Amino acid sequence: MLTVTFEEVDSALAAVDAPLAAAEAHGGLCGSLAAVGGFTAADWLAELVPASAPEGEEQLRARNLLETVFDETMSSLASIDMDFEPLLPDDNEPIQRRVEALAAWCTGFLYGSGASGLPDRDELTDELGEVLGDFAEISRATVDTDETEESSETSYVELTEFVRAGVQLAYEELVPHRSRGVPS
């Protein structure tokens, strides 16, 4: 479980002109952590904090916050308590913003796991292959304007829970793949 909020991470990333917002960045982190062993906070920060980012107090604050996110995410994925949660906007945010963030989170996860050398889909278990296929579908999610607000909320909660459980499944099933280390 993260001790920092979505808004704090999003603000920190914006302050250093990161190429990604909070949801996609966290999804990428989780994909990388699931797919490859030896992925470090320094690796993640190198992806997020441009070399051209002005050095100073803002960058230091952002780096410290992101290192906290890295450590807490790694800890929650590795925990037997299954307390992992994707970094998404608070429930009081409009449903449109939350769905867009969930879609971006899944995009990030797929990128992070793929860029980290995820095995071909035919080398994955059927269940994990299906989860990744579902993540690809969720990455294109939008709010159905014909649904009631209650129905949209229920769908969002169900998708978020599916993503949470899917990430934990990926992390568990990719243990043998992670033991190979960071691809060169």
In a domain, 134, yes or no: yes
In a domain, 184, yes or no: no
CATH number at residue 172: 1.20.120.740
Instruction: For residues 170 and 184, give the distance between their C-alpha atoms in angstroms, rounded to a whole number.
Output: 22
What pLDDT score was predicted for residue 149? Answer: 86
Instruction: For residues 89 and 24, give the distance between their C-alpha atoms in angstroms, rounded to a whole number.
Output: 12
Report the candidate in 21, 23, 22, 28 with the shortest Cα–Cα distance to residue 44.
28
Q: What is the pTM of this model?
A: 0.92
Per-run averaged pLDDT (10 residues), the chain, 184 residues: 94 93 98 91 92 80 96 95 94 96 98 82 86 96 88 94 96 84 49
* Domain count of the fold of the chain: 1
What pLDDT score was predicted for residue 177? Answer: 79
What pLDDT score was predicted for residue 184? Answer: 43
Which DSSP symbol is given to 182? -
Task: Tell me the residue range of the domain where 166 lies.
Answer: 6-178
What pLDDT score was predicted for residue 124? Answer: 84
What pLDDT score was predicted for residue 181? Answer: 53
